[in-house]
Amino acid sequence: VLADSDYGNKAEFRDRLDEIGLQYAVAVQKTTMVRRVQGTGKRREVGERQSVEDLAFELDPKDIRKVSWREGT
């Protein structure tokens, strides 16, 4: 699922996509609050809430990649 920030900023929307097992890439504002999730199943670890901007500065630059797509209709 691809979505703009009108959807991406809504935790309920992202949570529902997770619940039904869909992978997604959504635009978000830098102030959007998220949790970093690592692992799966019983080994899944969920971090504390933090802004996307704060999370971005914690990542190793080699782990960041730019994703772009054309304008939609």
pLDDT on residue 4: 92
Q: What does 1-57 look like in DSSP terms, one character per residue?
A: -EE-HHHHT-HHHHHHHHHTT---EE---TT-EEEEEES-GGG-EEEEEEEHHHHHH
Distance CA 55, CA 2 (A): 21
**3-class secondary-structure state, position 63:** helix
37-66 residue pLDDT tens: 888 888 889 999 999 999 999 999 998 888
How does the average pLDDT of the chain come out, rounded?
89
Per-residue pLDDT at 25 exceeds 70: yes
**C-beta separation of 66 from 45 below 8 A:** no
pTM of the predicted structure, to 2 decimals: 0.68
